[in-house]
C-alpha cells in the first residue's frame, strides 16, 4: 500500500475498523521491538553476571586453597569464602535497573560452588506488565595441590595530569612509586615469588589543547631501576586540559600496545591501571574550534601530530583490547587486564566512553566514592588475583 493510499484509507474509515487494525499492528510491532531490546539487555547482563561469578569463585577457591593449608575449620572457611565471593561480586558496576546478589556458597568434597541470582528491570516490556527478567549464574571450582612457580608481572600505570587532577595527582604519584613494593608484599603472602616486575608510566592530557598530550616512559625493572621511576613520576604536575573530556582512549591504546615482556618459560601477568577524573574524548574528536586553535601555529598547522596508527573509534580499540586480554588471560576467567578508577565517585553515566568499557571482558571500573586508598587497595588486590589465577590455572578447573 502506498503512503498516499494509507492516509486515504485512514481518512475514509468512519467505523474505526482500519484505525483499530493499525493500532493492533503498532502494538504488535512495539511488543516485538520491546522483546528484542530487553532480551538483548538481559543477554548482556547474563554474560557479565557469569563473568562476575567466575571471578568470585576463583577468588574464594584461592582463599580455600590457603585455608586448607593453614588448617582452618570448615565453618570458618565457609564463612570467609562467602565474604571473599561477596567482595568480588561487589566490583560489578551496573545501573539501577539491575540487581544481583550472592545466593549460595557450597563447599563439599574439595569443591566450592558459588551461585548468584538477580533481576533486570525491562525498559519496553514494563509497559506490557513485565516487571522483571531473571538473572542466574553459578560456577564451581575443584582444587588440587600445585607447586609454586615464579611469575613475571608487567604493569602500565596511566594517569590524567590535566589541571582538574591537581588535588588527586600527588596521591596517584605516591601509589605509582610504591606499587611494585605493595604488589610484591601481597604476592609473597600468597606464596607467590615475583621473579621480575616491570612498570611503565603514561601521563596524558588533551591532544587538541596541550603541546605535550602524551608522555610515555620506558619500562622500569624494579626494584633495580627505582630511582629512574621515581624521578620520572615526580617530574610532572597537574596542568592544562581542555573541557571536561581528555585523551584517555589514546593513553589506553598506548598501554595495550606497550612493549610487553615476551619471554617464554615463565608465568606472565600484564595489567593496565588508569586514574582520571574526566570523560574520554572520542578518537580524533576535538570538542570545539576554540580548543583546536590553541594548538595551531601561525600558518594554521597543528603543532601536535596525532598518531597515524590510532584507532578511529571505540569499537576498534575494543577489538585490540580483546586480543590483548585473550593473550594476557590465557582464556582463564577471573583475570582483569585493565582497571579504570574514576576518582570523583560520580555516576559512570557522566563519563562517556569510560562507561562503555564496563561491558568489555577483562575490564573493571571503580569510582572513588571510596577513599583513594581503598580504591588503590582494591585495584592492587585485583592484580594479585589475576596473578594467582594465572599461577594456579593448571590446578583449578571451572565448571559453569
State which of 100, 122, 143 marks the end of a domain: 143
Query: Does residue 6 lie in a domain region?
Result: no
Q: How much is the CA Rg of the chain, to the nearest whole Å?
A: 25
Higher pLDDT, 15 or 162: 162
Where in the sequence is the domain holding 373, given as residue range(s)? 151-392
Residues 127 and 199 in one domain: no
Per residue in 369-385, pLDDT tens?
A: 555 677 788 888 888 88
Residues 192 and 314 in one domain: yes
Residues 24 and 168 in one domain: no
**Averaged pLDDT for residues 183-212:** 86
d(CA 260, CA 256): 9
**Averaged pLDDT for residues 33-39:** 70
Residues 167 and 289 in one domain: yes
CATH code of the domain containing 171: 3.40.50.410
Query: Does residue 181 lie in a domain region?
Result: yes
Which residue from 262, 272, 259 is spatially nearest to 217, judged by alpha carbons? 259
Contact 9, 21 (CB under 8 A): no
d(CA 167, CA 173): 12
pTM above 0.85, yes or no: no
d(CA 303, CA 299): 10
Query: Does residue 375 lie in a domain region?
Result: yes
pLDDT at 176: 93
- Report residue 1's pLDDT band, with 50, 70 and 90 as the boundaries: low
State which of 88, 108, 143 marks the end of a domain: 143
Q: Which of 81-95, 154-168, 198-212 has the lowest mean pLDDT?
A: 81-95
Per residue in 226-279, pLDDT tens?
A: 889 999 999 999 898 877 789 999 999 999 999 998 766 567 889 999 999 888
Amino acid at each position: 500500500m502506498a503512503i498516499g493510499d494509507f492516509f486515504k484509507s485512514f481518512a475514509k474509515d468512519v467505523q474505526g475498523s482500519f484505525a483499530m487494525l493499525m493500532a493492533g499492528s503498532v502494538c504488535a510491532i512495539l511488543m516485538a521491538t520491546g522483546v528484542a531490546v530487553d532480551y538483548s539487555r538481559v543477554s548482556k547482563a547474563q554474560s557479565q553476571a557469569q563473568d562476575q561469578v567466575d571471578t568470585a569463585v576463583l577468588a574464594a577457591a584461592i582463599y580455600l586453597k590457603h585455608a586448607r593449608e593453614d588448617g582452618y575449620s570448615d565453618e570458618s572457611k565457609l564463612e570467609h569464602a562467602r565474604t571473599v565471593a561477596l567482595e568480588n561480586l561487589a566490583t560489578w558496576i551496573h545501573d539501577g535497573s539491575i540487581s544481583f546478589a550472592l545466593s549460595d556458597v557450597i563447599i563439599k568434597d574439595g569443591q566450592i560452588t558459588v551461585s548468584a541470582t538477580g533481576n533486570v528491570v525491562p525498559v519496553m516490556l514494563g509497559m506490557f506488565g513485565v516487571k522483571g527478567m531473571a538473572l542466574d549464574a553459578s560456577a564451581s571450582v575443584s582444587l588440587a595441590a600445585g607447586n609454586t612457580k615464579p611469575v613475571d608481572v608487567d604493569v602500565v600505570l596511566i594517569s590524567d595530569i590535566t589541571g582538574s587532577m591537581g588535588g588527586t595527582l600527588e596521591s596517584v604519584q605516591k601509589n605509582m612509586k610504591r606499587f611494585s613494593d605493595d604488589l610484591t608484599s601481597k604476592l609473597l603472602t600468597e606464596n607467590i615469588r615475583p621473579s621480575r616486575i616491570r612498570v611503565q608510566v603514561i601521563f596524558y592530557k588533551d591532544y587538541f589543547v596541550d603541546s605535550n598530550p602524551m608522555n610515555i616512559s620506558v619500562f622500569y625493572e624494579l626494584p633495580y631501576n627505582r630511582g629512574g621511576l621515581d624521578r620520572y613520576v615526580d617530574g610532572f604536575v597537574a596542568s592544562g586540559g581542555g573541557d571536561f573530556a581528555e585523551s584517555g582512549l589514546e593513553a589506553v591504546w598506548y598501554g595495550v600496545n606497550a612493549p610487553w615482556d615476551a619471554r617464554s618459560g615463565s608465568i606472565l601477568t600484564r595489567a593496565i591501571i588508569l586514574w582520571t577524573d574526566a570523560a574520554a574524548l572520542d578518537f580524533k574528536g576535538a570538542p570545539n574550534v576554540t580548543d583546536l586553535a590553541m594548538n595551531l601555529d601561525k600558518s594554521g598547522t597543528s603543532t601536535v601530530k596525532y598518531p597515524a596508527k590510532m584507532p578511529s573509534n571505540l569499537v576498534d580499540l575494543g577489538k585490540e583490547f580483546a586480543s590483548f586480554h585473550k593473550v594476557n588471560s590465557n582464556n582463564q576467567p577471573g583475570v582483569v587486564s585493565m582497571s579504570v578508577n574514576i576518582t570523583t565517585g560520580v555516576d559512570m553515566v557522566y563519563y562517556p566512553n569510560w562507561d562503555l568499557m564496563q561491558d568489555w571482558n577483562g575490564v573493571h571500573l571503580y569510582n572513588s566514592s571510596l577513599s583513594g586508598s581503598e580504591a588503590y587497595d582494591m585495584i592492587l588486590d585485583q592484580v594479585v588475583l589475576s596473578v594467582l589465577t594465572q599461577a594456579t590455572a593448571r590446578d583449578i578447573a571451572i565448571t559453569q
